[in-house]
Structure 1
Amino acid sequence: MWKTILRRVLAMIPQLFVLSLLIFILAKFMPGDPFTGLITPETDANRLEEMREAAGFYDPWYLQYYNWIVNAAQGDFGKSYTYKVPVSDLIGDRAKNTLWLSLLSVILLYSFAIPLGVLAGRYQDTFLDKSIVLYTFITYAIPTFVLGLLLLFLFGYQLNWFPTSGTIDIKHDEGTLGYFWNKIYHMILPAITYAILGTTGVVQYLRSEIIDAKSMDYVRTARSKGIPVRKVYSQHIFRNSLLPIAAFFGFTITGLLTGSIFIESIFGYPGMGQLFIHSISSRDYSVITALVMLFGFLTLLGSLLSDIIMSIVDPRIRID
């Protein structure tokens, strides 16, 4: 297993290299540059040209790519033209916020989805099952920005139950218990939004697997031995029904770490998703390329994590 994991990690290197080349070329095709937004009637055109030349924008593309990839391999992604700070420091600060939001979102997502999926599968074709299926249809159909704006308007502006932006109130000192709880308080509404939208696939997959498992021979054998129904579901059906969930669990984790663009933008949450949108609008190439590289790496990592998790859930599966 460990040899396979090592081979998969080594295989990521050429994949990331191809991805980096595509990102760099596509970034060069974007109209304008980071200095375009500085143009005003009083702007000195000569000064702008000097800035572009100092940034290396007039060097051959292959030389620019070589310098960028060599520096990136050393953890140096350059400096943000918009925020005037190193890209690695900027992404690091935003990644902390996205990490905390992702952790809370995953906890809420599976706390909601797994019980709903089990109940829907166990009580198939009952009113409870039909209500849960209707809920999944609604959450699947509703766009992210619609639900986000609706919850923000209702619970943020009308009821004033949750903050409408930011990650912390300035009145709290870092390292205190109040700071910790206030940070969670700011994450609750965007995390609930993601959890509601993310339950659809988990509930449907788990429901289908439980319905199929109920007719399996091992379940009939367990029932014929007089094993209580609750024990049959918890020790036999439930574990075997988790395979589709485990298959997507790695992608769910890494997908959340990339930051939800819509949710972070709607709730004014300064994470990596919101940073990505701002970087595109301001043509901050150094931040864009670094973020896309990070997102690509997390996607490859998610695939590997899903295989590892599946092999743990079901010992019959081995990633050989």
Structure 2
Amino acid sequence: MKQNVWLYIGEKIIMFVLSIFILSLIVFYMARLAPGDPLVSYYGDRAEKMSTEEKARTMERLGLDQPIYKQYGIWFKNALQGEFGLSYKYKEDVIQVINKRAENTIWLGGVSFLLIFLFALVLGSFCALRENTILDQIICKLGTISSCIPPFWMALLLILIFSVNLGFFPSSGAYDIGKANSFKSRVSHLILPLTVMVVSHVWYYAYMIRNKCLEEIRQDYILLAKAKGLYVHEIMWKYCLKNIMPTYISAMAISVPHILGGTYIIEMVFSYPGLGTLSFESAKYHDYNLLMILCLITGIIVISCNTLGQIINERIDPRIQVSEVSRYGK
């Protein structure tokens, strides 16, 4: 049994490392083959005034004059030692640049994730208890409409109404100037981005929870509980939600890439200084070192969450368990 467990863990680790390696290889080659001049990122407008000899010396100093495969070998060797290079645009170590923005993305993405699944659980169970009623139909229709609205369009609409016309909330930034440690300032800047994130994502998961709850409600043990005189709300909270919780947790793990991608888009619309805007800037200005580590961080998060979701499904789905037993032996 221990040997089978170690084989299972070893396979997951090998697949994870291989996926990250392939991702780094693809991003490295695509970034360097893309049209554009990385010296513009490093020197700005001065790059256009540089002579051919000066550009050649600069490319040699930055290691950009060598073949791509040699550049990747040097980068990979340094990365294994924890050295990811200098950001061409910010003239700082890429880890330091990312650390300054990561907190903002964690605020937006983390709070969005919690609110989406909290509201999805409440809304889905509420609709399941009122199946086919007018209220259930109205919520389903409104939820379907909200999930079909492009997030960037919804964000622009909220900015126009609540920032430009009414002036209730700021339209950009993560906090007011000089108030990075002010909780009130951060909350005021988060309200509109969070609203877009929650409204555009919540119904997708709420509808899934609603359907899962309805499947449980139609089970024989629920009919028996009703026959014993238990209230419908008590049955829902004590039995139905408890039984769908493994599926719910699995969905939370798998949804992280979906919500993370939405967070990056919202950051761009609201000029929110997080990893999403930083990724766009690094690609725009050919900031190779910064782009590499941002893509790897995003890839690690996505692959880790997908692997976690797969492991959860394997633990809760008897059919997958049987498949794993036959694969690794009894």
TM-score, normalized by the shorter chain, greater than 0.5: yes
How far the C-alpha of 1:265 sits from its partner, in A, is 1.0
Q: Give the corresponding residue for 1:241.
A: 244
Q: Identify the residue that residue 206 of structure 2 maps to in structure 1.
A: 203
1:28 paired residue number: 32
Tell me if structure 1 keeps the 8 A contact 2:147–2:199: no
Query: Aligned equivalents of 2:52 and 2:246: distance in 1?
Result: 61
* Distance verdict in 2 for CA 1:130–1:259, change over 3 Å: closer
Tell me the CA shift for residue 309 of structure 1.
5.4
Determine the C-alpha separation between the residues in 1 that align with 2:137 and 2:262.
32
- Conserved 8 A contact 1:80-1:287: yes
Give the whole-Å Cα distance in 2 for the aligned partners of 1:296 and 1:5: 20
Q: Whole-Å Cα distance in 2 between the matches of residues 220 and 94 of structure 1?
A: 52
- Counterpart residue number, 2:18: 14
Q: Distance in 2 between matches of 1:255 and 1:77?
A: 27
Report the counterpart of residue 300 of structure 1 in structure 2.
Answer: 303
Query: Aligned residue for 2:62?
Result: 55
* Structure 1 unaligned blocks of 5 or more: none
Is the 1:121–1:208 contact (alpha carbons within 8 Å) kept by the matching residues of 2? Answer: yes
Partner of 2:270: 267
Matched, 1:250 2:232: no
- CA distance in 2 between counterparts of 1:34 and 1:278 reads 12
Alignment of 1:1-320 (within 5 A): 3=6, 4-5=8-9, 7-36=11-40, 38=44, 42-172=49-179, 174=181, 179-253=182-256, 255-256=258-259, 260-307=263-310
2:328 corresponds to which residue? none
Distance change >3 Å, CA 144–CA 269, structure 1 → 2: same
Q: Report the CA distance shift for 1:223/1:131 in structure 2 as closer, same or farther (over 3 A).
A: same
Q: State how far apart, in whole Å, the 2-side matches of 1:185 and 1:5 are.
A: 44
Asked if the contact 1:258–1:295 (Cα under 8 Å) also holds between the matched residues in 2, the reply is no
The answer to whether the 8 Å contact 2:173/2:273 transfers is yes
Q: 1:145·1:262 contact (CA, 8 Å) conserved in 2?
A: yes
CA offsets, 1:94-145, max 9 Å, x none?
1111011112112221232222111212211111111111122112211111
The whole-number CA distance in structure 2 between the counterparts of 1:137 and 1:161 is 28
Q: 1:310 to 1:160 in 2, by over 3 A?
A: farther
Aligned residues between the structures: 315
Structure with the larger helix share:
2
The 3-state SS of whatever aligns with 1:65 is helix
Paired amino acid for 2:146 = T
Once residues 147 and 282 of structure 2 are traced to their aligned partners in structure 1, the CA distance between those partners, rounded to angstroms, is 29
Q: Tell me the secondary structure at the aligned position of residue 260 of structure 1.
A: helix
Q: Which amino acid aligns with 2:105?
A: T
Shift of 1:223: 1.6
Q: Secondary structure at the match of 1:85?
A: coil
Q: Distance in 2 between matches of 1:7 and 1:146?
A: 43
Percent identity over paired residues:
30
Shift of 1:261: 2.6
